[in-house]
Structure 1
Amino acid sequence: MNKSWPKSFGFLMLVLMLALTACSGGGGNNVGNNVNSGATNAPDNQTDKDTGGEKTLSIMWWGPDARHEATKKALDIYTKQNPNVKFKPEFMAWDAFWQKLPTLAASKSITDVLQMDAAYIQEYVSRGQLEDLSDIDLSGIVDPTVIENLKIGGKLYGIPLSQNAQGLAFNKTELDQYGIPHPHKDWTYDEFFQWARDARAKLPEGKYPIGDTTTWDSFNYYQTSMGKEPIMSDGGKKFNLDKDLFLTFYQTYEEFRKAKIVPPAEKAAAFLENDPQADPMASGVVMTRGATTGSVSALEQLMPGKVGVVNLPVGPAGGGWAQSTIFLSVSANSKNKEEAKKFVKWFITDKEAGQALGLTRGIPINPEIYKELEPTLQPKDKLGKEIYDLSLDKALPFYSPAAGFSEWVDTYRKEMEAVTFGQQSIEDAYNKIDKLGKELAAKAGGQ
């Protein structure tokens, strides 16, 4: 997390996010990192008693099936190296994870180790739910600058797992089929919008060049790319939703709904990312969608050889983001804190684990691990590196919702969904979203 974050991309998101896997928040149109595949094991947590000198670490994470399988292999490796340590894992999709975690937090039963996202880490730190990990020696493993940028109040609450970036995936096979040029690096928002208009003219009925968007992070990317402050800053004490840019951005999408450049609201509501039949892009309905370094491999597996990538559109100040956004954290209520700390350091340093995990959480934060992986990378993995490389030079910080803004994030999505269904005007939505944001900022500032 960058020091300038209010620090949550929930993202552009999406909601960045935005985002991986990220960020972001996520989902929807051109941003977001909501992954919705994978089953769940029975939830067990740190309240289970260890017996006979053995320790049992409970751990939970979100992600697609590829991440689930890779993580389970890594846990087996740790147990092989440390026979006295067993795991009780729980894994699920993005939405399910963030629906479950508040319940665990309320009962102080968060798992010993949990995957954490930049969009939410500050919120759980502010609640006292995460352990300070500053005493874990990461010298020679993680760049000191990266560590400093991730600290909250001078302390480290998450061990970064990867360098991640938000980009845009596109169906290069179908674009070629219909004579539509591929998106290019560092395209501006004006170029992006015009590309969508031009592509619409060449696509048959029932296919759309881009998706619609209802998440706060997708607009925040636009606002910050134009050189404006992020919507939330200073821990949520400052709120700045630029009305002129808001109207310009969403009036463009209103035009696109009328011109069938984006799918109708009813169809968009049924999309489910990374589902073979319901994914907007893999199903062949939409030609583009948001993807991160860590999540694009799942899309490539659904449509092998057909996926191209590009960075998000940029403005005068740049655009998108490229940085650490996914972490392993330790519960402040864990009864196995020392073993949990040992494990999270091992997770980013052990070469055998690195081979098992691959790029399922993005480009490994440890350069030695990536060097080991590079010669064996598959095309789906190289796409993740390509997103990162394309995004890096224009990337802005990853801005996340401030603590206490979850209601605002939900309200934003709800009000913008009402706009897409034609139930209210863009200006009415702005007024409601802006009013709540200002109220929350005043509350955060003690006014």
Structure 2
Amino acid sequence: MLRAAARSTRTFRTQPAALRTTRTFTASCSRLTESFALNSLDTFTEEEEILRESVKRFANEVVGPKVREMDERESMDPGIIKGLFEQGLMGIETGVDHGGAESSFTSAIIAIEELAKVDPSVSVMCDVHNTLVNTVLRQHGTKEQQDQWLPQLSQSKLGSFCLSEAASGSDAFALQTRAEKDGDHWVVNGSKMWITNSYEAEIFLIFANVDPSKGYKGITCFIATKDMGIKIAKKEEKLGIRASSTCTLNFDDLRIPAENVIGGEGKGYKIAIEILNEGRIGIAAQMLGLAQGAFDKAVPYTYQRSQFGQPVGTFQGMAFQLAQASVEIESARLLTYNAARRKEEGKSFTKEAAMAKYWASIIAQRVSGQAIEWAGGVGFTRETGIEKFWRDSKIGAIYEGTSNIQLQTIAKFIQKQYS
């Protein structure tokens, strides 16, 4: 037996190295296949698929009939907000012990995408509440803070994330809002601009500098409620996402209990960096859903409308445009899902989030603009709702990091890799 084994070994060692490598690789792949099921990026769990169908139904049946009215009134229907809470869509990743669904990050992305197919205004409200406000508390709040605030945010009270100011947009850490300690409270003075959800929100995450001598390392995150004295100074009138409130907030000697500091004094800049990277995946999902929503509205019309004896969608010039748009939407979808899965798996995702947000915002503008043209004069009217997608798409290149900021982020990773 030993001699036979020796002969077998000698025979193997005389085989070409390339063949030995191939056999070793094949054996390794076989073991890997037995251990893992390798899935496509758009393969979802049963729970995620159920969520998608549930959100799709809610968006079409509850949100859909109110989209035009909310857009023209430039305000969110309170019933929509109530419905989002009742559907469990305002605490998607939050644990069940705090009233949430305890689902995956990708589930949140799916919900944002599906809502955006019908109304990007509702989508961004859900997005900011989940990926920014809830996540800050889940990741950086103390147990006491989580016990106090997360159940409210999961079940009834809308949250708002207050970082941007008149002089600190892309340069977020140039903020001028100040906080000074006064006994067992912090006194906050300053203002914020471009704050999503601020008109309807009851719970606010406010970033202020407690020690300007330390620069951005003095920035601290506080949690406050509207009834503490937060003042809405102005509600912006916008090109798109009109139903989503965007306001200027003023803080005049706003007193916040010391125990409402999130993550510790001077840790606000780290919280902001982390959370905006994650939030960009949410915006990518919003833009992805928007592009798909515009496509879904316009394309059927191209096969119903006939000119010169055939449906306009069957002319090669039009057919190629539809095919190209479909490819572009799919590319944005895969970038978005890839960033979401990487985040879930604990892998680095900053570059991937920037890529997804940048590309999805471009595709949203491109496809929604083309969709108007595909539907011709009808697409240019407000009746179809197609033109609204185009108006809503423009914000994708601006908020949660402009397109230039995304390109700068991506370029830094390229430089690090190749220089």
TM-score, length-normalised on structure 1?
0.24
Greater length-normalized contact order (CA 8 Å, ≥ 6 residues apart)? 1
Q: Give TM-score, length-normalised by structure 2.
A: 0.25
Normalized per residue, the structure richer in helix is 2
